[in-house]
Amino acid sequence: MAVSWWCSSSSRAWSWTPSPYIGAWVILVAVIATAVWWRARGRHQEREPDAREAAALERGSGPYPSGSTSRSVAFAFGVLGLWACLDWPLAALGAGYLATAQMARQILMVLVVAPLLLYACPPGLAVRLVGWGKRLTVLRLVARPFVAIAIAALSLVAVNAPAVVDPLVRTPYGAFVLDGIWIVAGFVLWMPVQCPHPGVRRLEGPVALGYLILQSIVPVLPGFWMTWADFPIYRVYELAPRVIEGFDAVSDQQAAAAVLQVGGMVVLWFQIAFRFLRWGYAQMEDGRGGRPRPGASSGGASDGDGAGAKPIRGAAAPAS
């Protein structure tokens, strides 16, 4: 079993012998360790916000409405998806053998793993990481819909351009930079609707649905030139040893475009349908005179450890 620091292209014939990547496991351990620390100690060290922080909180949407169980489930699936994206075999296939595998990695990370991990992040941990000062100002800027879409779209177009892909995937360091860009782009893309920091105003209801519909153009852009090219546009995948007999570079490229565009659309519209049904159910509950929705501005926000907490305390309250 070979061990490498990070995935990169290779001229060797593909082998199903496991080859884990140290860098991927360092990231996974860091994410899991942060979650364990927060649950064991970090959430018990929260303090009440001062006047400046309380004023900043009023400009946000408050803690994201979620329970501790749903956060734990989202975290488990998010970490599992993160491992699939960063480690062997998908990372090895995507870095040097199949464009289809690379696009599958991006769809999984950008449209599945990123929103799961953002949902799983407790508000208190987001406050601990970002604070209430200049970093929050930057986060609010990034969480603006058109800023987020512009950053994500430009990043994903850039990291899928042949002039960028071919030279960078030759070395583990270049491949790490390439992967880092589209991973960050995935988190940025979801900030307007899924930001865990209570001081950021998130899109809600029909506006959030409209943003997600607009977001669906993002996977289309990088795959545009792959769809219509009659020849391989990526030298690394054209010259790579064949993993599947008869699955040549052009077929691989066209399949990659389908994964990026059709697969991305399916995942996004699943999100849109889920959020629409959730919003519609909440509207019906409000219309019947039921209890206020979690996270509504006129009421308390549940952070998973208790119902009916006041919004300001919710920002600093322990969250699992």
Q: What angle do CA 262, 237, 162 make, to 5 degrees?
A: 75
- For residue 52, the model assigns a pLDDT of 65
Amino acid, res. 126: A
Q: CA-CA distance, 188 to 100, in Å (whole number)?
A: 24
Helix, strand counts (H, E) of the chain: 17, 0
Q: What angle do CA 5, 85, 264 make, to 5 degrees?
A: 150
The token pair at 47 is 């303090």
The token pair at 103 is 């696009």
Tally of CB atoms within 10 A around 278: 12
pLDDT in tens, the chain (320 residues): 677 899 999 889 999 999 999 999 999 999 999 999 998 876 656 666 666 666 777 777 777 777 788 999 999 999 999 999 999 999 999 999 999 999 999 999 999 999 999 999 999 899 999 988 899 999 999 999 999 999 998 998 899 999 999 999 999 999 999 999 999 999 999 999 999 999 999 998 889 989 988 888 777 777 777 877 788 999 999 999 999 988 999 999 999 999 988 888 888 888 888 888 888 887 887 777 655 555 444 333 344 444 334 443 444 443 33
- For residue 284, the model assigns a pLDDT of 84
Find out whether 179 and 164 touch, Cβ atoms under 8 Å.
no
- For residue 310, the model assigns a pLDDT of 40
With 0-12 / 13-18 / 19 or more C-beta atoms within 10 angstroms meaning exposed / middle / buried, residue 104 is: buried
With 0-12 / 13-18 / 19 or more C-beta atoms within 10 angstroms meaning exposed / middle / buried, residue 102 is: buried
195 in helix, strand or coil? coil
**Separation of CA 44 from chain center:** 27
Amino acid, res. 220: V
**Separation of CA 93 from chain center:** 21
- For residue 46, the model assigns a pLDDT of 62
Ordered DSSP codes for 57-122: HHTS--S----HHHHHHHHHHHHHHHHHHHSTTHHHHHHHT-HHHHHHHHHHIIIIIHHHHHHHS-
